[in-house]
Amino acid sequence: MSHALRRLSRRRTAAWAILVLFVLITLLPFYWMLRISLSNNRTLFANPGSLMPTDFTFGAFKRVLGIATLAEATAEGGSGANIDFWRYLANSVVTSAVITVCQVFFSAMAAYAFARLRWPGREKVFFVFLTALMIPPIFTALPNFVTVKQLGLLNTYAGIVLPYLFMTPFAVFFLRQFFLNISREVEEAAIVDGAGHAHIFFRLIVPMSSAPIATISLLVYIGAWNEYFWPLLVGQENDVRVLTVALGIFRAQSPQAGPDWSGLMAATLLAALPVIALFTVFGRWIVNSIQFSGIK
């Protein structure tokens, strides 16, 4: 018995050691971003192997937030390029929120139709619908761009959100898996009481599915927040430019001989903070909802 307990203890210790190693590997890029952003860009490469910031300073964050003067920026090795952080942050929040609300709403209605309504060819249509998951997004970028241009929606919020505004195969599949697990007795009782499909959907299905709906909303929001290629194509003006595109432009504005790495890492870290916070708060909720909905 004692031998078996010792073997179990060794296995548990090894499992924890591997888990800690993976956690450290995952966190290392974020720590390195923080280390560079807290370093003086002029002395950044003086000791590149150091785990601590070189010539510790908050100057990079001041440059990103627009509270550093040009003299202070150049003194710390800044390129003189600037980024209207708060405007681009607001643009990202607005576009991500609109995409999330609309996409989750339409995906939930489609999932309800595929899971709860009986109509001829439902499973075949659903299979064809899921095949869209195999189409790379880059294949639809050109026709979407032509459509948005012909509609006169370039450099507008509408042009940025339009391709993502309606349902997506993954969101429909995710919600459908959960809707299938809801007891039909509840729905049949509502039908006996004279409830229609709209009443059942909004008063029964949606409240009973608050956890998976919140989870897919979070996943959609994070995906919209991280989107880069499409906003780069259709949102070039400052008024609608999102944060991910602004970071790339900030990097391009830096001279090739001496990029402002500290400022770029500071801006990237600030842009990643909302997503990190969301995952930290709702990470367990996401895992539990995925397991419950039957996605392996």
* Structural domains counted in the chain: 2
Q: Do residues 185 and 164 both lie within one domain? A: yes
The reported pLDDT for the residue numbered 256 is: 55
Mean pLDDT per 10-residue segment, the chain (296 residues): 64 85 88 88 78 84 78 69 82 94 94 88 86 82 91 92 88 90 82 83 87 88 91 89 86 65 86 83 68 48
Residues 173 and 243 in one domain: yes
71 shares its domain with 92? no
Euclidean distance between CA atoms 89 and 271, whole angstroms: 8
Residue 133 belongs to some domain of the structure: yes
| Stated pTM of the model | 0.82
Provide the 10 A C-beta neighbour count for residue 293. 21
CATH of the domain at 131: 1.10.3720.10
Range of the domain at 14: 2-75
Q: Do 53 and 89 fall into the same domain? A: no
Residues 70, 92, single domain; the answer is: no
pLDDT of residue 159: 93
Indicate whether 245 and 111 sit together in one domain. Answer: yes
Whether the Cβ atoms of residue 213 and residue 223 lie closer than 8 Å to each other: no
Q: What is the distance between the alpha carbons of residues 13 and 7, in angstroms, rounded to a whole number?
A: 10
pLDDT attached to residue 292: 53
Please check whether residues 64 and 102 belong to one and the same domain: no
Rounded (5°) CA angle 151-154-109: 65
Q: Is 139 found in the same domain as 235?
A: yes
The whole-number pLDDT of residue 294 equals 44
